[in-house]
Structure 1
Amino acid sequence: MLNLLSSYLRLGNKLDKLEVFDPILDLDSNYFINIKRLKVTETPEFVGAYEKVNMRFEQIGRLLGVSTKPNDKMYRTAISMFNFPEVNGICLGYSNSKTGSGMGGKLRDQIIGDAKQIIDAGVSDPEIFHLVGLFERGVGPDRLSDMIACIIKEEIVAYTLRINKELQITKKRYPKCEFKDDLLVNPYKGEPLLLLPTDILHELPIARDWEDIDRVCSEIEAIRNEVNVTIGKRWGKLAVGMKKDFMRDLFIKTPNILSEIIERYRIASIDKYDFETDSRGDYLAAKIANSLPEEFPIELKAKDVSSYRVAKSICNKFKDLVENNKVNELLYADGKPRNEKIVQRAFFCVADSYCNAFNIGISAETDSGRGPVDFKFETSYEDRTLVEIKLTSSSNLVHGMETQIQEYAKAEKTRKLIYL
């Protein structure tokens, strides 16, 4: 079951009233700390946090600027300062697992090496590291969010302690819960739970390797001209990683272009994310789905509890909830249909809420060798059911039914299939 902190501690809507993000304890939520929002926040603990982040990046830049060769003392110190393991306690990120991955040594070395070349080319602004997702493979807003969380962890802890005090989230009030240094230990992750104000968070884009490269290219004339001359119409067909490689080489070769991007970035602003309407749908899905099993239960006799019967019952319940209850809010935003990834996430939130009642396991996007199937329900190795979801607007609608789900069935060694 998706366990929201508010339901786990029976807090009602107290977190919402204080504009505290209500985390799902057993799964990461697809939002991230937005550094532009951190710059303008009025939450007391985070006033000055933006400057703290920039100071760290500035120090790293200065070290790289005076380094004369790779692996000298200054270079090694810069690498050691660019160490940002994921802060699992905040329950944010783009992971379907219980914990995230953080930044590995290979990616860290790659970023520092490229940053050194850019700085040597003449650009030393700390905002280089804000924009690292534009020119580094494997870096998106979630990675930057991890970096920021590491730098301001002290402020996050202070904020959490204040909220805990206001809401009486203490060992005395919750004697059955585990606490460490006055912080509630997340029972599903074993880490102290850290809270965040909603005003510094924003939606995490759907695609894993997304960066807003195409928008930047269209707005900066010098980049647009370079793309047209060098790549032309092939640009639209390039993979995201290849576009990032192009941008990295361009910034090193023509540092004034990066300087222009940084200047535009500095004056840009981003509005506070509206979690009540939640254009992404992830937060809304968890909030709505969390109460469904009690409000709209599924009744199955003990003899009917198999992965297929439970999965089919959940699919039928999902249909009923969409057509006759409030779950239709998860499929539309401002009257427009949400995309397939969000629909899948909505289904997962609803299905997971019910699976707990029947002791059925549900996994999202598992890959047994022929690509990731949307959902796998199982009670054992011999009893597993696959569910693949497609919007009727999908160009792969027929292919998904005739070929895709059949390939998944071979890999998972099951003939229990549902195409939703």
Structure 2
Amino acid sequence: MLLSDYIDVGKYFEDNGVFDPVLDNDNGFFINILRLKTAKTHEFQESYQRINDLFRKIIKLLDRAEKKNISDIFFRQALTLFDFSEVNGIGLGFSEKAPGSGFGPQLSKRVIETAYDIVKAGITDPEFFQLLPLFQNDVGPDRLSDMIATIILPDIEAYTKRVYMECGIDEVKYPDKKFVGSYMLNPYRKHEILLLPIEILHKLPIAKSWEEIDSVVTENNIIRSVMNQQVAEEWSKYSASLKKQYLREKVFTDSNTCQYVVDEYKKEELDLYNPEDRIEYLLEKIWQRIAKLDMSWKTKLQIEAIDSKAAALEIMEYFKQWVENNKGWEVIQDASSRNREKILQRIIHLSGLCYIEKNNLDMSCEPDEGRGPADFKVSRGQDKTLIEVKLSSNSQYLHGYEVQVEEYGKAENTDKLVYVLVDVGNPLKVKKLKELHEQNIRQGKKVLELIIIDSTSKESASRA
């Protein structure tokens, strides 16, 4: 359930750059400090400075501290300032931690102990705190995002209140919704709904504790340039904790090296990120759009037994009707070419699940029985039908028809095969495939079922 659908605000979020959160699940994004640095949304224009001001205070305290433990008053005060819980209302991350866990006292103490070493090495730039996931165990970009959200919570609240006011989100307009103070309550997560502008978000790596540090080090010119060849060769043999230990001891507590890394980091820029580039989030939005279109075919679900091939053909016929006659082509055309085929497969799977369940069948997505996976298998016991879907933009579209599906059929021990070509604007390819199919029929060859779906852009009826 997207917030925009829950409160029915139409395209306001989309038109005004407001992130539209999924309410019943975490959204796989995080607040990125580099995006805050160039934020245009006025509530967040001072956020970057707010973050650095806090870390400057911590650095000054650590600089005055004489011991790396809580018996030193300055160290203790620095530790007190480094106190961040999870801001649950924004719904970011992947729910790896218990709600509100944030950093916790033990992790905070380890971070401040490391920060003490870095400050004593002569580094006073507050930006080194932004690089925590590189050298501190148990700190990944999701936890770093929690830290940022806690510091800039006043800015998040101010932005949320403005959007609420502009949309009229209050107890008067929504008497059936629950509110906590000024904020609407998330009905699934039982905490307030806070809002963020898309411009400050970025994708969140799914690595559980940023063990994808390998790619960070090997792809980041700044870090790689300060590692000698010997270390680079041994790097793959290190455990995740040893890798962070190496960076902590050899890079971040060496004054010259650390200063170089921080200086180069401060020059970094990060392009605006489109949340719809993340397939899982885009599918949530697509499914909401599907649900709003004419889905009267759902009333035609059969109760009597139907074999797998008839079911597969009927599912694809419903999908064809949705694409060609219910503006489904817009969803396909709007998807980026990089993700389009994967998104197409997910939509077919989603749209077929209700039919499959009603008819006591099974529909698996990309089953793999040996010679690579077909896109779909519709089955009931040993009655199996395979469906292969290709976009007309795919260079392997003919190979898929002539070879691929047959190989999948042999692996699954079935001759019930369906090949679907979705035309995204390649008429010559469509013509070539049709001619090949008709030629095979004339020659008396056994042919698989061919379905061609037109998903090219279409004018409205009035314009036509």
Same structural fold, with TM-score higher than 0.5 when normalized by the shorter chain: yes
> How much identity, in percent, do the aligned residues show?
34
Establish whether residue 176 from structure 1 lines up as the match of residue 176 from structure 2: yes
- Give the 3-state SS of the residue equivalent to 2:277 in structure 1: coil
**3-state SS of paired residue (1:193):** coil
How far is 1:390 from its partner? 6.2
Deviations 1:78-134 (A, max 9, x none): 112111111000111122799574222222122111111111122121111100111
Of 64, 69, 73, the residue aligned with 1:66 is 64
Q: Is this contact kept in 2: 1:133–1:141, CA < 8 A? A: yes
Residue number among 322, 335, 338 corresponding to 1:336 in the alignment: 338
Distance 1:289 1:97, change over 3 A: farther
Tell me how large the CA RMSD over aligned residues is. 4.1
Shift of 1:169: 0.6
1:3-402 equivalent positions in 2, closer than 5 A:
3-69=1-67, 70-71=69-70, 72-95=72-95, 99=99, 101-208=101-208, 209=210, 210-211=212-213, 213-215=216-218, 218-220=221-223, 222-225=225-228, 228-229=229-230, 231-275=231-275, 278-293=276-291, 295=293, 296=295, 325=323, 334-336=336-338, 350=350
The 4+ residue runs of structure 1 with deviation greater than 6 A are 299-304, 316-320, 327-330, 386-392, 394-397
1:245-275 Cα deviation digits (max 9, x unpaired): 2101113552211111111111111111124
Distance 1:143 1:253, change over 3 A: closer
- Inter-partner Cα distance in structure 1 for 2:189 and 2:151: 22
State the secondary structure of the residue aligned to 1:60: helix
Q: Distance in 2 between matches of 1:318 and 1:90?
A: 38
- C-alpha change, 1:113 and 1:49, in structure 2 (3 Å) is same
2:61 aligned counterpart, secondary structure: helix
What displacement does 1:290 show? Answer: 2.3
1:193 Cα deviation from its structure 2 partner: 0.9
What are the superposed Cα offsets for residues 280-333 of structure 1, whole Å, 9 maximum, x if unpaired? 2233121112243454575698999xxxxxxxx99x979986998559979x97
Describe the SS at the equivalent of 1:202: strand
Show the counterpart of 2:398.
none
In the aligned structure 2, how far is the partner of 1:318 from the partner of 1:81? Answer: 59
**CA 1:253–1:189 in 2, change beyond 3 Å: closer, same or farther?**
closer
**1:417 corresponding residue in structure 2:** none
Distance change in 2, residues 1:396/1:262 (3 Å): farther
Q: Which amino acid aligns with 2:234?
A: R
Match for 1:235: what amino acid? Answer: W
TM value normalised by structure 1: 0.71
TM-score scaled to structure 2, two decimals?
A: 0.65
Q: Deviations over 1:56-76 (max 9, x none)?
A: 111111111211111122212
- Letter of the structure 2 residue corresponding to residue 106 of structure 1: Q
SS at match of 2:251: helix
1:203–1:280 CA contact under 8 A, matched in 2: yes
Greater relative contact order, per chain length (Cα 8 Å cut-off, separation 6+) = 1
**C-alpha separation between the residues in 2 aligned to 1:213 and 1:24?**
29
Return 5+ residue gaps in structure 2 as ranges: 305-310, 374-464
Q: Distance in 2 between matches of 1:219 and 1:252?
A: 13
Asked if the contact 1:27–1:97 (Cα under 8 Å) also holds between the matched residues in 2, the reply is no
Partners in 1 of 2:243 and 2:371 — Cα distance?
A: 25
SS at match of 1:41: coil
Gaps of 5+ in 1: 305-312, 359-385, 398-420
- Tell me if the contact between 1:213 and 1:243 (Cα under 8 Å) persists in the aligned partners: no
Please identify the structure whose Cα radius of gyration is greater.
Answer: 2
The worse-fitting range, judged by mean Cα deviation, of 239-248 and 81-90 is 239-248
Structure 1 pair 333/249, CA: closer, same or farther in 2 (3 Å)?
Answer: farther
Separation (CA, whole Å) in 2 of partners of 1:327 and 1:260: 50
Letter in 1 for 2:337: G
- Matched residues in 2 for 1:245 and 1:22: separation? 38
